[in-house]
Amino acid sequence: MTLDPLFDFSGKVALVTGGSRGLGYRMVRAFAERGADVIIASRKLANCEKVAEECRSLGRKAMPFGMHAGRWVECDALVEAAYGEFGRVDILVNNAGMGPASPSHEVSEGLFDAVLNLNFKGPFRLASQIAQRMSEGGGGCIINVSSSGALMPLPGVVPYSSAKAALNAMTVSLAAEYAPNVRVNTISPGPFLTDIAEAWDPEQREVQPNALGRAGRPEEIVTAALMLASPASGYTTGALVRVDGGLR
């Protein structure tokens, strides 16, 4: 691949949670294909190892790490392992998340806590700990992967939508707190044809209520991530980039 200098990540280290599948996998591949060494974090270590092998075949260093991104002790272990192996993290993508559907009056406290932990509590811990290290080092970029559900009504997944709204607020606050050395931004995806879409009915996979009339293809998340992570976007922080086909 001939690298555009605006998107050359040679010598950079990118850490992606939920990086073994779906949109996270696409972002891991995109960074590795453009020169970055990568850390793939997910609950299933075997899946992380498979992606790491793909990235090593591109000539990159790759570290798989099995962890639950909603638990602070495991977030801290990931940070220590990443810095122990590479000495720094230049790009953090908080991508791990889940949004199980349930009528709000049937949501248990355990489910509520699990959703908030994975979508907000864990990302806060990773972002804050890595932002502090980035700020004291050579700087860096953090990308929080949110959801269109934080911006518009999404019945049946209220804890998920609320957690993602908190993630959006966190982005703005951390961007101010750790500036100027650290940039923090949000990607807000709409419906994408990842493995989650396998549970959709056939019509949902074909048609969506957005301007483009369809769900996104997983590879269509890549350009937003590359743009926000690029040093050429040095004047972009605290921003939210919608990648949702023009949901309305």
Strand-strand pairing, 62-66 and 37-42: parallel
- The whole-model pTM stands at 0.96
Of the CA atoms within 13 Å of residue 101, those in its CB half-sphere come to 7
Alpha helical stretches, state H, the chain: 22-33, 45-56, 72-86, 109-116, 122-136, 158-177, 202-206, 222-229
248 domain-assigned: no
Instruction: Indicate which CATH number applies to the domain containing 182.
Output: 3.40.50.720
d(CA 103, CA 203): 22
51 domain-assigned: yes
Return the SS3 of 177: helix
Output phi, psi for 94, to 5 deg.
Answer: -85, 90
94 domain-assigned: yes
The DSSP symbol for 215 reads: P
Return the percentage of the chain with pLDDT > 70, whole number. 99
Q: What is the mean pLDDT of residues 27-39?
A: 98
pLDDT at 198 over 90: no
pLDDT 10s digits, 170-183: 999 999 999 999 99
Q: What share of the chain is helix, strand, coil (3-state, %, to 5)?
A: 50, 15, 35
What pLDDT is stored for residue 197 in this prediction?
Answer: 64
pLDDT 10s digits, 69-108: 999 999 999 999 999 999 999 999 999 999 999 999 999 9
Q: 32 lies in which domain range?
A: 5-243
Contacts of 75 (CB under 8 A, 6+ apart): 67, 69, 122, 125, 126, 129
167 domain-assigned: yes
165 domain-assigned: yes
Which residue numbers are catalytic?
160
Domain count, the chain: 1
Return the percentage of the chain with pLDDT > 90, whole number. 92
